[in-house]
Amino acid sequence: MLTPMRDPQLLALLILACLAVAVPTATAQVRFEQTEFCIGFWVDPPAEEDWDLRYREIADANFNVVLGFFGATTVETAQRQVELCEQLGMKAIVSRVTDDPYELPDGPACWGYGLGDEPGAAAFPALAEQVAALREARPGRLAYINLFPNYAPPAALGTETYDEHLQQFVDVVDPDVLSMDHYPMFTPTADGRQGYIDNLASMREVSLEAGIPFWNFFNTMPFGPYFDPTESQLRWQIYSSLAYGAKGVLYFCYWTPRGGEFPKGGAIITAEGRRTRHYDQARRINAELKAMGPTLMALTSTGVRRIQRGDDVAALLTGSPIASITDGEYLIGEFTHVDGRRAVLLNNYDFAYTSWPTVEFVAPLEQVMEVDRVTGEERAVIDDSPDTDGLQVSLDAGEGRLFLMPAE
């Protein structure tokens, strides 16, 4: 019987086999992995502003991600942006301020780099090359690309349908995050809610199949044909995104752009640098998102149900963690927690009126917990009207409440 020591050829083969196991392949790339819920925005403060004050203002409004594509346009200013975010406990996705990915700013607070906004399908192959180059130069960083909404025409999408556009983007570009912008119309004569949740449904389906998170932009300001949203309309947009499993929400905009499309009002901060009413609204909503963020990141979407007045609710709730609910307008997001428990986000679909449904869960009430929107801790469910029969759940206009219960 030959042994490796007696057969030099066999010994050489064994050494090569060991090296193949011990040395990783050169093609393996470290991918971006989202570790916290993203609360961000479009349009960062201009370069001429006092960034120490302005970035503290951003952090005080409970944002945790700065998309720095406007104020920071050089390697030096983008690096300063990353450093400020690190000091204030935020993350930065900075502009691609140089064509050489090895020269891009970096640091512990750098989440990634912006590569494009609303590309058509014809641009996907070139973007795929840029994404691959960025992963090679900056392992673990996000190559961020934001996509069109579902109301973009086929000529802009470069595909016949929106779902084809999303799928082709995933197949060709191989992204780490899906992101899109959709601004629903809220006017006395137009209701854009259905189109918004249809877009979320498309994002949810593609992101689940690809195994990557999705984020979305929503409207915060008056521009073009869009009305200035109320706080409840902001909540409706955000909590609807959460119901479909979004792992990030992005305000359009934070700093108000200048230009003919933005003739009046303002976003969260006006073009002149003044806070609008949206600043305190965002601060309140973002505090809830930060508190619930760890739980939201631990959830995987399993379904979404839309309940309308007059529906056969019993039939629509078959298989849901909610056994029954009184007549009303609701959006119900259903999830599995990483620990195996079931979760349900119950949203008031109406952004004009509060709702007081009587709710029964499939699990005994003593086994159901609610994620507190102030502390983020799990607590026993509180009956908001204990003198009324059944569990009463108060839902402000556009808001949602998140519950956890044992697995089936």
Q: What is the pLDDT, as a whole number, of residue 261?
A: 79
155 DSSP 8-state letter:
H
Secondary element (H or E) of residue 225: none
Tokens of 167: 């799928």
Q: Count the neighbouring beta carbons within 10 Å of the beta carbon of residue 35.
A: 8
Q: What is the pLDDT of residue 114?
A: 98
Task: Indicate the average pLDDT of the chain.
Answer: 93
- Is the pTM higher than 0.75? The answer reads yes
Q: What is the tens place of the pLDDT at every residue in 221-237?
A: 999 889 999 999 999 99
pLDDT tens sequence across 30-68 = 999 999 999 999 999 999 999 999 999 999 999 999 999
Task: Show the domains of the chain with their CATH numbers.
Answer: 38-297 (3.20.20.80), 300-405 (2.60.40.1180)
Tens of pLDDT, residue by residue over 178-190, are 999 999 999 889 9
* Mean pLDDT, residues 263-274 taken together: 89
Q: Is the pLDDT of residue 8 over 70?
A: no
Give the residue among 357, 371, 376 at the shortest CA–CA distance from 405: 371
Structure tokens at 212: 């990557």
Residue 373 near residue 318 (C-beta atoms within 8 A): no
Residue 28 above 80 pLDDT? no
What pLDDT is stored for residue 74 in this prediction? 95
Q: Rounded to 5 degrees, what are φ and ψ at 83? A: -65, -40
Confidence of residue 7 (pLDDT cuts 50, 70, 90): low
Name the CA dihedral angle for 44, 49, 51, 54, rounded to a multiple of 10 degrees.
Answer: -70
How far is residue 36's CA from residue 30's CA, in Å, rounded to a whole number? 18
Evaluate whether 397 touches 356 at the Cβ level (below 8 Å). no
Query: Quick one: pLDDT at residue 231?
Result: 97
Task: Give the confidence band of 260 by pLDDT, cuts at 50, 70, 90.
Answer: confident
Residues 292-335: tens digit of each pLDDT: 999 999 999 999 999 999 999 999 999 999 999 999 999 999 99
SS3 386: coil
297: left (phi over 0), alpha (psi -120 to 50) or beta: alpha
DSSP structural state of residue 230: P
Separation between Cα atoms, residue 343 and residue 333, nearest integer Å: 8
96 and 114 in contact (C-beta within 8 Å)? yes
Relative to beta strand 110-117, strand 391-392 is unpaired
pLDDT of 302: 98
